[in-house]
Structure 1
C-alpha cells in the first residue's frame, strides 16, 4: 500500500497470529517491485491494541485468509470497521525447489497488487 499510495492512508499490517519474521520468499518477491520487507515485523490484532493502535480509528480491514476474516468480523462487534475478504493464494508449502516456490509467491504478490489497484485505483506514488 505504502509503495503505491504513500501517506494518503494510514496502513498497518496485522494477522491472527504473530509470526514476527516475514517469510524470506515474501521478502524476495516484494524486493523485485522495490518493496522493502526485510525490516518489517508482523503483529497480531491483539498486539496492535496492546501497542496503542486504536482499531476504531481504522475504516477497513482487508483479510487475506478465512481465519483473519473471522477475527476481523469479531472486531466489528466492538468497532465500526468494514471488512473485505480477498481470497489470495497461500503460497506457503507450494512448489518443489526455489524457483517453483518463488513462482507461487509471485502469483500471490501479483494477486494482492491487482486487488489493491482494483479497489483503490491507480498508484499515487512513483511505485507502479
Structure 2
C-alpha cells in the first residue's frame, strides 16, 4: 500500500478514551517521522493511563508513561491536515468537529485490546497486535521513510 497523496503536516489520532490506541499510534508516528509530521492524540472521553499499552510500547523502545489522556475539547485547535479515527465514536465526533474545516478524516477500525480477557500473555498479545497493526498502517499512509545521509 502506498501513501495516499503527500504526507500531511499535522495528524491527530483519535479513539474512545485516549489511553491505548491513539497514544500508541501517536508515539509510533512521532518515532517514524520525527520533525516531519506534527502528531497529537485525543479521545471522546478521558480514560486512565493503561499499563499494558505502556509495556508493549516499551518493548519497541517507545516510552508513553508520560502520556495523560485528554479529549477533543482539550485540544487548542483543530488545525490538522488529517484526523485518523480508531473507534466508531471517535469517528463520529471527529466528523462533527471538522465539518466546517478542510480536514481529511479517515476511519481505521482498530479493536480495543483492553477488552481482551485471559492470561497476561494473551492480553499482551492483543496489545502487540494492535501496536504492530498501527505501525504498518501508519507507514503505509504517511509514506516511506526518507533515507538518512
TM-score using structure 2 length: 0.75
Secondary structure at 2:33 match in 1: helix
Q: Deviations over 1:4-55 (max 9, x none)?
A: 1001111111111112x3211000001111111000112100111xxxx221
Runs of 4+ off more than 4 Å: none
Asked if 1:7 is matched to 2:30, the reply is: no
Asked if 1:58 is matched to 2:119, the reply is: no
Question: Which structure has greater strand proportion?
Answer: 2
Contact 1:5/1:125 (CA < 8 Å) preserved in 2? no
The residue aligned with 1:88 is 110
Contact 1:16/1:68 (CA < 8 Å) preserved in 2? yes
d(CA) in 1 for partners of 2:130, 2:36: 24
Asked if 1:34 is matched to 2:56, the reply is: no
Asked if 1:121 is matched to 2:121, the reply is: no
Change (3 A) 1:125 1:27: farther
d(CA) in 2 for partners of 1:18, 1:78: 25
Aligned residue pairs, count: 120
Contact 1:4/1:125 (CA < 8 Å) preserved in 2? no
TM-fit CA distance, 1:121: 2.2
TM-fit CA distance, 1:125: 8.8
Contact 1:4/1:124 (CA < 8 Å) preserved in 2? no
Which ranges of structure 2 fall in alignment gaps of 5 or more residues?
1-28
Which ranges of structure 1 fall in alignment gaps of 5 or more residues?
none
